[in-house]
Homo-oligomer: A and B are copies of this chain.
Amino acid sequence: MERKRIPVVERILSANDRLAANNRERLQRHGITTINIMSSPGAGKTTLLLATIRALGETCKIGVIEGDVASQVDADKIAQAGVPVVQINTGGGCHLDATMVQQALEALPLDEIQLLFIENVGNLICPAGFDLGQDYNVALLSVPEGHDKPYKYPSMFEFVDVVLVTKTDLMPYMDFELAEFRRLVQGLNPRAPVIPLSARTGEGMEAWLEWLKTAVKGK
């Protein structure tokens, strides 16, 4: 007797993944490169964005989506820099999702944006699991957090396209071992470059801006 064939669906897109695919298609239609920025609270995401906006100036039209559990202090800072920004408050949620980003896109002038940064909720765990429609994922790890973090939060470092070590101006006061940090990241994710920088002093910003330009072109 011939066995009946059972249909196997290899991957059923979850509701979030479907919405993320919609966001991605919409962003691509507008020719926008989208970058999801993730880190612990206080690792310097907003400060990096402000330094990046200043450095790129008129050469690239930037937009920003700010994600936070509560408040709009970060969006206020970005707005002062003169770029379009939308604040998402998750109201307790520990990461952004594709629905939230979809709503934020409604409020942005997409035809006037070439490079969209999504600053995720400060959290080194949950944001790594949720597609938003971005092209690239960036993790920041600040020097004061310590070089051992890839041991403890491997999913984040496995997931991203580039790792930025921020606040390198604090290196003289900390026991941060950069070579050991590179070794740990490369063990989890050999394709992600590690770029040390200080948005405060400007050290290393050139390498980050170079990575950004390649990302925008490479799309």
B-binding residues in A (CB < 8 A): 40-42, 68-71, 73-74, 92, 94, 121-126, 142, 144-146, 148-149, 151-155, 167, 169-170, 173
Contact = CB atoms under 8 A, between A and B. Distances in A.
Contact of A152 (B70, B125, B142, B169): B70
B40 A152 contact: no
A173 B170 CA distance: 8
Given A122-B124, A142-B144, A42 B41 contact: no
5 contacts: A40-B122, A41-B145, A41-B153, A70-B152, A170-B173
A155 B68 CA distance: 13
A73 B41 contact: no
Nearest to A71: B151
A124 B43 CA distance: 13
Contact of A125 (B69, B145, B146): B69
B173 A73 contact: no
A167 to B, nearest CB: 7
A153 B69 contact: yes
Contact of A145 (B42, B69, B149): B42
Nearest to A128: B92
Contact of A73 (B73, B121, B145, B152): B152
Given A121-B125, A123-B123, A124-B123, A42 B149 contact: yes
B126 A94 contact: yes
Contact of A94 (B74, B123, B173): B123
A26 to B, nearest CB: 28
Contact of A71 (B73, B121, B152): B152
